[in-house]
Every structure is written in C-alpha cells, then in structure tokens.
Chain A
Amino acid sequence: MANPSAVCNGHLHHHHQKQNNLLKSGIYKKNGITKGMKKNGISNGTLYKKTFIEHFEQAPMYVAVLTFLGFGVGTVFGYLRDFMRAWGLEKRNVATEREQQKDFVPLYQDFENFYTRNLYMRIRDNWNRPICSVPGPQFDLMERVTDDYNWTFRFTGRTIKNVINMGSYNYLGFAETDVNALKTVTIELQKYGTGICSTRQEMGTLDKHVELEQLVAKFLGVEDAMVFGMGFATNSMNIPALVGKGCLILSDELNHTSLVLGARLSGATIRIFKHNNMQSLEKLLREAIIYGQPRSRRAWRKIIILVEGIYSMEGSIVRLPEIVSLKRKYKAYLYLDEAHSIGAVGATGRGVVEYFGMSPDDVDVLMGTFTKSFGAAGGYIAGKKDLVDFLRTHSHSAVYATSMCPPVAEQIIRAMKCLMGLDGTTQGLQRVRQLGKNTRYFRRRLHEMGFIIYGNDDSPVVPLLLYMPGKIGAFARRMLEKNIGVVVVGFPATPITESRARFCVSAAHTREMLDTVLNALDELGDFLHLKYSRYSKSSHPELYEETRLELED
C-alpha cells in the first residue's frame, strides 16, 4: 500500500520518518510505539492513530528547465503578437482602452492580462465546457468548435454522450436522477415550490431549515449548526462576523479564495504559514503571543487558525492532531473548512475529525459545504450553541442573503439520512466504503504507472502533475477524444511551473470506468511522456491486487 521510498512533504517530521521505517517492517496500525518522542508529556505516537503518508515528489531537473523553455517561447510569441496588435497588423479581439484613455495609467499591461491574452487564450477550449446532463459518473457534453483560435466558439448542435466524468465533485455519487432516490425531493418541491423570497432573519426560515440544521448537528456530533445558501458565501460572510480589528488570523498558504476573502473583509491582521507545516505555525503563534499587536504591543484579542480539511489543489489532508495540540497550548481558536472532506473521508463519512479519531469538540468552528458530497448547494457552520446563536444574529449571510431553497434542503436531508443509515439501508456506508476503495485503487495504479501524484493516500482529490504549458492543452483535448472529461489547472490557480490535471474520484465510478480511465492515462502518459516519477513500483501490478490487507474497513 505505502511506497516506503516515497518522498514526504519537504519539511520532514521526525515521527513520519519513524512511521516510514516501521512500514518497511510491515506494521500498519500504530499506537504509542515511538520511544523518546515526548512532547508536552504526550507521546508523539498517539497523535496519529493511522499512517499519514503524503507525496510531494519533485520532478527531475530537466523538467523544470524545459517548462521554463516552453514559457519562454510562449512569452516571446506573446510579445510578438502584442506588438502586431498594437501596430494594427492584426485584428484586435482583446479588451483595450479607448483612444481618449491612452495617456492614462495602462489597464491591461500587467502580467496576468498578458498571460490571459497570449497563453490562456490558446488553450481556452479546455475550460468552461457546457454540459447538458446531470454531472454523475458519466455526462453529456455539448460539442463546441472554434474558427478563430478560441476567441469565439460556436455550438455544432451535437452532444458528446457518456463522457466519463473525472472532474465533478461528486464524491459520494449523490448527483443522480433516479426517480426513487429523489422521491422526497419531488414531494417537497410540490409542497414548497422553489423560491424563498426572503432572508433568514425576515421570513426565510422554514421548518425544513430547522430540520436540516438539527440533522447536521446530529451528523457531526455538535450542539448546533446553521446552514447558508451558498458555500463560498458561508466562508466570506461569516469570518468577518467572528473576527475583526485587533484579532490575528493565521491562515494556511494554500487556503481557498473564500477563506482569503473572508479574512481580508474582516479587517483582522493576517499572517500566513507554510502549507501544512506545523513548525511554521508554531513559530507564528509564539511570535504573536510574545510580541502582541504590531505597534501597541497589546495582546491580540483573538487568534484564529484557518485551515481546510482537504486542500483541493494538492490533495493533502490537514494535520489536525498537531494543530489541535498547538491550539490548546497557545490558546487559539480553530476554524476548519471541510468543503472537500465532509462525506469523503472518515470511516462513516464524517470528515477529517473522524478520520483522525478526534472529537468534534476539539475544533471551535466546523464549516463545510453541501456542494461536494451531498449533490446539493450551500454551506453550514457548526459548533457550540453559543457560537451558532451568535452567527444567527450577526452573520451577513443571515441578514442579507436568501436562504437555501426547500428542494435543495430536502436533497441534503435525504443524503445525510442515507449516510447516517436513518433510512433503514446501509447504502450510505456502502458509498463511503466504495469511495475509499476507488480512491486507494486509483492512486495506487497511478503511482505504479509512474506519474507524479500529489497528496495524501486517502484523499479522493488526485492531482497529476503535467508541468509544461504545451501539455496542458494536449492532455485535456486527447482525453476528451477518448471520451473522458478531465479538469486541467494552470497558472494562476497553481504555481506557474506546476500545472496539473485534477481527478475527483467518485463512489459512483465502477471499476470498469476507472480501468478505462487508467488505460487511457497509461497510453497518454507514454505518448506525452508524463511519467516523471522516480519511485514507480514494480512492473507486475497484478500481484498487488488482492493480497493487500484492508485494515481500515
């Protein structure tokens, strides 16, 4: 299961090395075995009850050199095209300033606009592809062609049917159109209609919302919860309600835009620690407590740590036990955004808190979204009753935003009941297990083939590194030709040299679908020369198939 020679996160933690050594001798489950690694009187071995293996392998040096070469050529041609556009040798399709504004500060000269005009436009056909069916394990795409190199598109009218979906966040497969499954949703739709026409504080709180909030609180094991209509707005509108000026926010380097926006809107001081790096976080905490606020040297009113459960661009899982022990030691608060991890990790799908075997009381603010694993839309914030009561009155979202519409609330209720087993079947648990199996199988096969994959072995988000800008377009187009839809990401969502293809494994994917995708990836990996990994496993993958022990079932 684990690759003993895998390179972990660049900042190697001693006890992960110990875990790797123990893996070589075949021990999987561990509990307090490391000797002499005591921290605060707690033996380090008991922090992590299961192995925590993350891969962030660096590509060989020639890959970096060739990536820069590709970008260099692209930049040179970008300047050439800009020159031709400025001198009227070529038709201008871009946004430019008007003649009267030519003497003002230029609007479109920065690197982001340059990159968009000259590099993004060339491969723009791989994004914003309209789909015309439910985003289940397979979907239908509308066929689009371009006559002028991606400046404009037109639809041919045909649809490409049954494209395997490796891009939608459909972790548990609840994005389905099966009539039996959606029976209660249909009933609620006929009872309530679709619109709420009000905000939560005015007339927008329905009995459905109350039912949903109680169910969410029960699911997570906390006192109370509040739901909002939009996941992004949950973060960006509630963080300003929780912190303000004079508070300190310690945010992970790779946090999502919604967290960054919420932090900036709050007016608190923001300090960034390196991704998932506990030494960096501890250093910042110590400095904050020792030196206090910048000019007055007073103590900070509140120190809050913003982290995510699973980071969607890296596929890494947060080091929750260490963060909780740090937060207890330095008396800070913890805000955990489980957008991608709720429903997707943990033995019964209750997120990273369950994955690490901790209690939900350890985290002060539990936030999550219903968009990813529940096939609906919206977000929630859960925690102590005092916290949620405060948010009900003070959150911008509660006062101004429309509340969740009833059929969507019913979809979440039915999905959650399914997960908890309250509908009388074990379907929910089967879905969680199927997702775990699919994830492990997919990741293992990709590692064996020799691709560079980032992230934790248990995370259903699988980024496959492509590095070179030319390969981004080629990869996505060729996968579509083979009837597989993938999401590729480049700058500015990732660092400029680390462009990647991101797969989202779903419980609804059958073994055959995954095998189709893996065979296509194998072929494409050879053709595009993407197999950069220096740690690929043996060339006899069939020997690994059923002889592994599934210890964490």
Chain B
Amino acid sequence: MDFKGMKNYLYWLYCQFELITCSYLMEPWEKLLFYTFNITMLVTILYTAYIFIPAHISMAFQFFWHFFGNQHENTVSVVK
C-alpha cells in the first residue's frame, strides 16, 4: 500500500486540473466560487445518476426481455 506514492499522484492530478482550468491563476475567492460550482454540478450529476440509472437499466432489461421473454412465458405455461 504505497500511500505516499498515491498521495503524490493525487496531488499531481490536482495540479493538472488547476493548470488546465486556469484555476492556478485565480484569486482565492474566485477559486472558492469555481470549486463550489464544480462540486455542486458533480454532486448533482452523481445524485441524478444514483436515482435514475437503476430505474433506466431495469426498464431497458424489461424491454430486451420482451424479445426473448414471450417464449419464456410460453414455455412456462406449456410446462404447467
């Protein structure tokens, strides 16, 4: 468990994020604003994903089961 290496890598990733989005150049209050906005958006997206994706996946499964699903029910009723 290379914690130091992992921490260095995460710090490096954070630096890259700062450089790419120009937040390296921002004053502290601008950084606060920017990070708040970003984290809020991220949390919103993750929350939406958490709520809706399982429902969507189960709907998709049901849709696909219909193609094979009819035969399945038929076999069940024949066995009965």
Contacts and interface: CB of A to CB of B under 8 A. Distances in A.
Interface string B4-25: 0000000010011011111111
A73 B19 contact: no
Interface residues of A, number: 21
Interface stretch (B26-34, B41-49, B52-60, B71-79): B26-34
B interface: dominant SS: helix
Given A73-B34, A77-B30, A473 B16 contact: no
B60 to A, nearest CB: 31
Contacts of A123: 25
Contacts of B30: 77, 80
Interface in A457-516: 468-471, 473-474
A473 B21 contact: no
Q: Which among B18, B19, B21, B34 has the highest number of chain A CB atoms within 10 Å?
A: B19
A468 B20 contact: yes
A470 B12 contact: no
B21 A70 contact: yes
Interface string A518-532: 000000000111000
A469 B22 contact: yes
Contacts, number: 47
A473 B20 contact: no
Contact of A470 (B24, B27, B34): B24
B19 A74 contact: no
B25 A473 contact: yes
B11 to A, nearest CB: 10
Number of contact residues on B: which range applies?
10 to 19
Interface of A: 66, 69-71, 73-74, 77, 80, 119, 122-123, 149, 468-471, 473-474, 527-529
A474 B19 contact: yes
Contacts of A122: 25-26
Q: Which among A71, A77, A119, A471 has the highest number of chain B CB atoms within 10 Å?
A: A77
Nearest to A66: B20
B19 A528 contact: yes
Nearest to A470: B19
Nearest to A149: B27
**9 pairs of A and B residues whose beta carbons are closest in the complex:** A470-B19, A122-B25, A470-B22, A74-B22, A70-B22, A470-B24, A66-B20, A73-B21, A73-B22
24 contacts: A66-B20, A69-B21, A70-B19, A70-B20, A70-B21, A70-B22, A73-B34, A74-B25, A77-B22, A119-B25, A123-B25, A149-B27, A468-B20, A470-B19, A470-B21, A470-B22, A470-B23, A470-B25, A471-B19, A473-B24, A473-B25, A474-B19, A474-B24, A528-B19
Contact of A529 (B16, B22, B34): B16
A71 B20 CA distance: 9
Q: Which among B12, B16, B18, B20 has the highest number of chain A CB atoms within 10 Å?
A: B20
Nearest to B21: A73
A77 B20 contact: no
A80 to B, nearest CB: 8
A80 B24 CA distance: 17
Contacts of B34: 73, 77
A527 B14 CA distance: 11
B21 to A, nearest CB: 5
Contact of B23 (A71, A73, A149, A527): A73
Contacts of A149: 27
Nearest to A475: B19
B25 A468 contact: no
Given A69-B21, A73-B22, 6 more contacts: A66-B20, A77-B34, A80-B30, A468-B20, A470-B21, A471-B19
